[in-house]
Amino acid sequence: MEHQVAPFDAARVRAEFPALGLTVHGKPLVYLDNAATAQKPRAVIDAVERYYESENSNVHRGVHHLSQVATQGYERARDKVRDFIGAGAREEIIWTAGTTEAINIVARSFVRPRVKAGDEVLLTEMEHHSNIVPWQMLRDELGIVIKVAPIDDDGALDMDAFEALISDRTRFISVVHISNSLGTINPVERIIALAKARKIPILLDGAQTVPHAPVDVQALDCDFYAFSGHKMFGPTGVGVLYGRRELLEQMEPWQGGGDMIQHVTFEKTIYNDLPYRFEAGTPNIAGTIGLGAAIDWLAGIDHAAALAHENDLLEHATRELSQIGGLRLIGTAANKAAVVSFVLAHAHAHDVGQIVDSEGVAVRVGHHCTQPVMQHFGVPATARASFAFYNTHEDVERLVAAVRRVAEMFA
């Protein structure tokens, strides 16, 4: 007899997220802004609260009890991240404030010393601003050239054009794994293979990937991988830069101060070993401990079932929204994550967002820090519904009903 797989129990999961029980404008909250930030399970909230109530202290230098407890929690979280993304060593896990800081570290500390005027960095048209602006800063400072691989009208990366843009002047490739505004899942295995064949270092922006799909950085064979804690059900203000140890060891610190040093005189400073040489000053201790709690919580989720559930929600939302007159979907790549972006004829995205919010449905409106994507599709902004595994088909129906109301008002 064929084994029957039980459907994903979103109701059981969502019960662990206090915010999902809120009422907004007199209606139960439907939270569909997960690509911006995800809600937090009780286990994460409790871990952060416990730190501030009974473990609060600075890390590494204290010999007293609270400092020892805080340090253990802080470093234990690093080990959890190492295992979660399949890194080879804990020294390859650098705490950052988020994906943005992680990319900036690579741009300033790894790429900047290795490029000169005329050298090229290859990006894609769907990049988040945090993977555009740091490279523009290097361009303006050093005269490097930014090459941009185009996307097609479905929002998929043109891989032939991408490959053709790689030249003997390409010094670095930085690519988003999953687009935050389109949901497009890039063929990163093929992209990495192209980079490796030419010995070009590569970074992946994994901010939208880690919360929804398993990531193994060693299997991917990327050189750097960046992501944020708050999108994977952890606290805000904490993120991770993974880097190959041999590359991190070649990099100079990008900030100076406490904890990133071994010895300081007015004549000379000896920098600390990995990973601490990139972690200047008092870190976000509560955030790292909370992120560790999020990883522990995620370990109890059936990831294959959760991903299947999210894909089911994506199909449901895409099908129902497509039937609304005057609605245009933005981002219809064949391989995409659970993100639906759209525009409505005669209605600005901000009007859509406000009216939908009055129905208790939270979506994101604007350019989503991807203004080049908006320019490609000829729109100033979109409304974006982004799903997590705690969302339900009822959430989709509430969204569709709210958007239908907007369409009728602006018809």
Burial of 160 (0-12, 13-18, 19+ CB in 10 A): exposed
HSE toward the beta carbon, residue 185, CA cutoff 13 A: 12
- Across-strand partners of 204? 175, 225
**Which residue intervals of 86-150 are DSSP H helices?**
99-105, 133-142
Q: How many CB atoms lie within 10 A of CB 66?
A: 13
Question: How far, rounded to the nearest angstrom, does the alpha carbon of residue 202 sit from its chain's CA centroid?
Answer: 17
Active-site pick, 58, 369, 404, 410: 369
Q: How many CB atoms lie within 10 A of CB 50?
A: 16
Rounded CA-CA distance 232/220 in Å is 20
Closest CA to 316 of 395, 256, 409, 251: 395
Closest CA to 387 of 18, 29, 41, 38: 38
Rounded CA-CA distance 42/238 in Å is 18
Residue 222 is a catalytic residue: no
- Across-strand partners of 328? 343
Straight-line distance from the first to the last Cα atom of the chain, in angstroms, rounded to the nearest whole number: 53
And the tokens for 189? 């295995």
CB-CB contact of 371 with 136 (8 Å): no
Closest CA to 243 of 72, 76, 77, 81: 81
Burial of 301 (0-12, 13-18, 19+ CB in 10 A): middle
Phi, psi for residue 282 in degrees, rounded to 5: -65, 125
State the catalytic residues.
Answer: 369
